Every structure is written in C-alpha cells, then in structure tokens.
Amino acid sequence: MILVAAYIIEHHLFEEPQAINIVGNYFYDFKLEYKKISISRVKNDKYLKNLHLNNISELSAIVGANGSGKTTLFSVINKEYDTTRAIFVYEDLDHNIKVVNRTGQVNKDGNFTERNQISVYFEDTKIYPIVNVDIPILYYSPIPDQDLSNFSSSISKTSHFKSTLAEYHLDNIERSIMLMTDDVAEQIRKVYPKLPLFNHLSLSAKLLYKRDLRNIYGGFKVTGDIEKVQKEALEKLWESYPINNENKEHLTHDNSDFFKNIEVNILSYLLVDGTAMETGFNGVYGISYFKIIEEKFFETKLKHLFFHKIAHIDKYIFLSLKDIMIAYDYHMLLSHFENSNFDELLKEKQSRTISTIKNLKKSVISKSKDEIHDHLKDAFETLSSNELQDKEFEYVRNNLTNSSFAPK
C-alpha cells in the first residue's frame, strides 16, 4: 500500500483546495461539489516500473522555495496532531485504491468523525473510507522544525534531545563549526578523501514573508482598529527598510545587509506582538508605533517598543520601570523587575483613599444633614477625580456618581 495522492480541502496557506500527486502509475484529479468529491485518474505514460530495482519501491521528491509549504504538507500527510480537512488516496499492489477520509467534524479528542463527512466517489462508484493505513510517520527534514518540541521517526538519527529542537539544531551547528576549525579535520581527510568538509560559514537573516506577518502571525478574525494600526505600522516599517530587488518585495528584506536584515525582522515581530491583549490595568504609551518607526537608531526603537508593550499590559509596572532605564542597561532593568513589588503605587493610592474616607467620617460629626450631603458630594467628586480617575476604577466611579450624593 503506497500513498499516491492527497487532496487538501481547507488550509490557511491555500485559498482553494489543493491536489497533490505523488509519482506513480496514474495521475489523479479531484472535483469538489456539494458534499461530494469525485476522483478520476489517467495513466502516467512516463512512469518507469522497477526503476529502483528491488531495494526501493518508490522514490518521490517534493521541492519548493522556503516558506512554500513543504513542511506543512508533510505535517498534513503524517496526520499527527493535524486537523486539516483532506482525503488521502492509496494504491495496493494491483492498483486498487483505498481512501482515508478526514473531512468530517472533529470531536473533542481531536479525531475526525463521520459527521458532516464529504462523500468520495471514484469513477461514479462511492468509495467507503478505511479507518487507517499502517504506514510509519515520515521524517521530512535534515534540520528539525524548531516550532516542534519533540518528534518521533522511524529513521531519526538520535533518540535524545535537549529541552527544545532549536537547541538541538544549534548544537549540531556548533559541532560542525568545531570540526571545520580543528586540525583533526585534515587528518580525517587523509584517511577518507571524500569526506565533505566545509571551509567557510555563511550567516544570513531568515527571509520572512510579509503576507505571513500580516495575516498569520498577526491578523484578527474581525477587522478593527487594532488590526488596521498593526498593518499600517508594518507597511511603514518595511518602507523604512527599502528593498532594491523587485523580485523580493514580498519579503521583509533582500538579504543585502545582514544587520539591517536582522533589525527589520526583529522589529516586524515586535510590532505584531505589540498589540497584546489588554488587561484591567492597561496603560497608554505616549509615543505611537509610527513615531517609533521614525526614530533614527535601532536601539531607540527597541526601547520604545519594549516600554510600549509593558505599558499596554500593565501601566503600574510601566510607571515603575520607565524612569530607571539607563544607557539601555536591560540587565539592570531585569534586576529591578525581579526585586520590585509593583503593587506599591496601588497600595499608596489605597492608603490615601482610606485616609480620605476616615477624615470624612470625622468631619461630618458636627454638621447638619444638608451640610453633610453637600460635603460628602464634594468630597467624593474630589476623590473620583484625584485617586480614582483611571480606567480600572471606572466601576467605583460610576457607583459614586450614581449614589445619593450625586448632583440632582
């Protein structure tokens, strides 16, 4: 049983359903209609049987540029922790087809069910899906995907990893560099002349697709003010790091200036991340994203984006940190953060509010009923405008405003 084709119904990388043929005796075609997928096939006249003799049954290659979806495709084919709606066509030794149907509704356990499943027909005959096909999980890259925390493979080179695959990958790079620069490499070459050794190391910033930053890492289900600001800020940022190669305008950089490339990548991620979820203690940073992008120095942009994010999450933390940042010393800032109690401003406000209320209690003892009403009304208005003017105290302010002491 071999996999010969896949038909991906829905995936965020594709605007329309995608058919993938894997080399074999036939080319498969798919037609999606209302609650029905029709499969047809034509003979592959260029197919060579037993091309690889008896040692390898079939050999197929999926090629494409970085970011074109190769890793995504194999993740879908592997089906591990993947809920992409798709069907998979397999052939047995007599070229009869079997279909795995993953188009139905996903249950609470993450498994596909027959509910709302799209029916599959082959040459006008309904094909009833098989539950599973016993094939090993595919390992599909010499470099582990850094987005994964672990993976299993029937051909993995090692069974132990560090805490993340990113660290594992960096360790491999470090060992390769050590071998490149060690005298023992030349000694090994004398014994094994065909040993591939490298004599230089090339470093480059990752090429990021603008569309991904706009719509995948960023982006919202409902277009609103935050999404508008985010996308406009990204466009302004990319304009400030111009690309001279028109064939790479869809990327964040054209790989022409290493440090500038690193800068625009970092700033792109920070701008996307800057629109964090608001909290009850959300604050406002006095400088907009657009003004930050206009700053001359990268370090200044980083500082502003850092405090912009802190202020957006919690203004009391922001107020405690904003005045102690000296000469971009983030280590000192971290030390202060770890050893500070950010409730101090709130506790001071609480203490002043309690003191004001206690003083009010004493001040009304000798006053008449009308005097008490006017006195308390003035006192609560002062308290609202001084200590309780911030957004997080809106509920308290409303209660005071709606109390019997409010102006008639």
What would the two tokens of residue 5 be? 């084709």
Beta-bridge partner residues of 36: 33, 119
CB neighbour burial string for 179-193, b if at least 16 within 10 angstroms, e if fewer: eeeeeeeeeeeeeee
Residue 264 to residue 262: CA distance in whole angstroms: 6
Query: Of the segments 42-51, 137-146, 232-241, 280-289, which one has the largest average pLDDT value?
Result: 232-241
Are both 259 and 324 inside the same structural domain?
A: yes
Q: Is residue 112 helix, strand or coil?
A: strand
Residue 116 to residue 103: CA distance in whole angstroms: 8
Q: Is residue 349 part of a domain?
A: no
Q: Is residue 353 part of a domain?
A: no
- The mean pLDDT value for 202-210 works out to 87
**Top-confidence residue, 187 or 396:** 187
Are both 20 and 84 inside the same structural domain?
A: yes
Q: Is residue 183 part of a domain?
A: yes
End-of-domain residue from the set 303, 338, 373? 338
Are both 177 and 216 inside the same structural domain?
A: no
Based on DSSP, count helices (H) and strands (E) in the chain, helices before strands: 13, 8
Are both 235 and 197 inside the same structural domain?
A: no
Residue 143 to residue 404: CA distance in whole angstroms: 70
Q: Is the per-residue pLDDT at 339 higher than 50?
A: yes
Q: Is residue 58 part of a domain?
A: yes
Are both 219 and 197 inside the same structural domain?
A: no
Q: Are 38 and 19 in contact (CB under 8 A)?
A: no
Q: Are 25 and 43 in contact (CB under 8 A)?
A: yes
What would the two tokens of residue 113 be? 């069910």
Q: Is residue 354 part of a domain?
A: no
- Could you tell me the residue range of the domain that residue 387 belongs to? 361-401
Residue 39 parent element (H or E): strand 36-43
End-of-domain residue from the set 166, 185, 202? 202
**In this predicted structure, what is the pLDDT of residue 392?**
57
What would the two tokens of residue 111 be? 């498994």
Residue 311 to residue 330: CA distance in whole angstroms: 16
Domains in the chain: how many in total? 4
What would the two tokens of residue 19 be? 């058919």
Residue 202 to residue 219: CA distance in whole angstroms: 33
Across the chain, mean pLDDT equals 77
What would the two tokens of residue 194 be? 């065909």
Which phi and psi (to 5°) does residue 370 adopt? -65, -40
Q: Is the per-residue pLDDT at 39 higher than 80?
A: yes
Are both 181 and 223 inside the same structural domain?
A: no
Are both 195 and 266 inside the same structural domain?
A: no
Q: Is residue 145 part of a domain?
A: no
Q: Is residue 230 part of a domain?
A: yes
DSSP at 363: H
Task: Name the band, by pLDDT with cuts 50, 70 and 90, for residue 239.
Answer: very high
Are both 198 and 105 inside the same structural domain?
A: no
Are both 334 and 216 inside the same structural domain?
A: yes
What would the two tokens of residue 354 be? 């309690």
**In this predicted structure, what is the pLDDT of residue 214?**
80
For the chain, give the longest Cα–Cα distance: 108
**Top-confidence residue, 326 or 98:** 98
Q: Is residue 75 part of a domain?
A: yes
Q: Is residue 222 helix, strand or coil?
A: coil
Residue 157 to residue 153: CA distance in whole angstroms: 9
Instruction: Tell me the H-state helices in 55-100.
Output: 70-78
Are both 193 and 247 inside the same structural domain?
A: no
Are both 197 and 261 inside the same structural domain?
A: no
End-of-domain residue from the set 140, 168, 202? 202
Are both 6 and 120 inside the same structural domain?
A: yes
Residue type (1 letter), 69: G
